[in-house]
Structure 1
């Protein structure tokens, strides 16, 4: 996902200055569900302004703070936003979990060390799921239903990942990661039956 889509999307909600955009991104925990490129949000604002996708509405001067430049999206920016949005909806990128490469070779690893690392990861994911659930509940009356779908999606994905990590950890503790020809049997409630 591009930072342009995020900035333009947040400006579709109303006029904002770059720092305010950064704060909204932080408040909504966007780093947990949107892979954003590293770099300056201010640079992205400059680029969008040069391409007439956003424009300055006001500059707020305060002797105690740096000047704050307020921007709004332009009609050209709205067109670009619509194109970026549809492009993102149609994106069919494969999902590669960071553990996939490790799992291919886990049978050669130290099962105790693997289980310990997985336990730490489980705790991190549990905390993340709790945070995302809290953010979801706090934003029910503040954001669109589409945004709530996205937030709930991250909660559901996190819960699914927890089940998966716990199964892998259990196999590591039982020394079963090297076994061959043994299917992974899910409990009925995990299969949804």
Structure 2
């Protein structure tokens, strides 16, 4: 997801400074589906301001802390936000996951070691799944349906991953990582 879309979307909710945007991403657990580095966030704000999509409304000065620049979205920014949103909804992305690269060569590794790593990943995935289910239930009554569906989509993907990992662990435990053919699908 575009950093600019995240910024403009959160500014649609009201004026904010970059650090506040970063905090909201963390508080809303958006990190599960959005990669947002602090450096790229500040750079994106600069670019958005140069392009006229956001404007500075205040600079809060505190002698003990760095200045906080507060931004708001402009009318031009609202139009750009909608354009970015619609483009994002239309994107078809390739599925790039590090586990796929590793599994491509798992037949050449020790099956017990592969199984152990997959078990650890399964445990972590189940923990993440339970955490997101809890967040979903907490937000269920007071959140926009679209935001709930983002969480629901992530939950559904994780549920599928849990099942998939369990199957992989069974294959590794049964010493079948080196087998060829589609017999495993029957």
**TM-score, scaled relative to structure 1:** 0.87
Q: Which residue of 2 aligns with 1:184?
A: 185
- Residue 127 to residue 32, structure 1, CA distance change in 2 (3 Å): same
Q: CA deviation at 1:147?
A: 0.7
Q: Which runs of 5+ in 2 are unaligned?
A: none
**What does the per-residue CA deviation read over 1:105-155, in whole Å, with 9 as the maximum and x for residues that have no partner?**
222211000001101111111121122222222333443110110011111
Q: Secondary structure at the match of 2:185?
A: coil
**How far does the alpha carbon of each residue in 1:5-63 deviate from its partner, in whole angstroms, 9 at most, with x for none?**
10001111111111110100011122211244673322211111111100112223344
Indicate whether 1:43 and 2:65 are aligned. Answer: no
Whether the 8 Å contact between 2:12 and 2:73 is mirrored in structure 1 is yes
Instruction: Quickly say closer, same or farther: Cα 1:108–1:127, change in 2 above 3 A.
Output: same
Residues in 1 aligned to 2:42 and 2:66: alpha-carbon distance in whole angstroms? 14
1:105 and 1:94 map into 2 onto residues whose CA distance is: 20
2:167 is matched with 167
Do the aligned residues in 2 keep the contact of 1:2 with 1:37 (CA within 8 Å)?
no
2:122 corresponds to which residue? Answer: 122
TM, length-normalised to structure 2: 0.91
Q: Which residue of 2 aligns with 1:143?
A: 143
Q: 1:137, 1:60 → 2: CA distance?
A: 36
Q: Is the 2:53–2:78 Cα contact (8 Å) retained in structure 1? A: yes
Cα distance in 1 for partners of 2:18, 2:144 equals: 22
Q: Which runs of 4+ in 1 moved over 4 A?
A: none
1:70-92 Cα distance to aligned partner (Å, 9 max, x none)? 21100111111111111111101
Distance 1:38 1:173, change over 3 A: farther
Q: Is the 8 A contact 1:2 1:36 kept in 2?
A: no
- Structure 1 stretches lacking a partner, 5+ long: 186-193
Q: For residues 137-184 of structure 1, what are the alpha-carbon distances to aligned partners after superposition, in whole Å with 9 as ceiling and x for unaligned?
A: 233344311011001111111111011011101110110112233132
What do you get for the CA RMSD once the two structures are aligned? Answer: 1.8
**Is the 2:22–2:38 Cα contact (8 Å) retained in structure 1?**
no
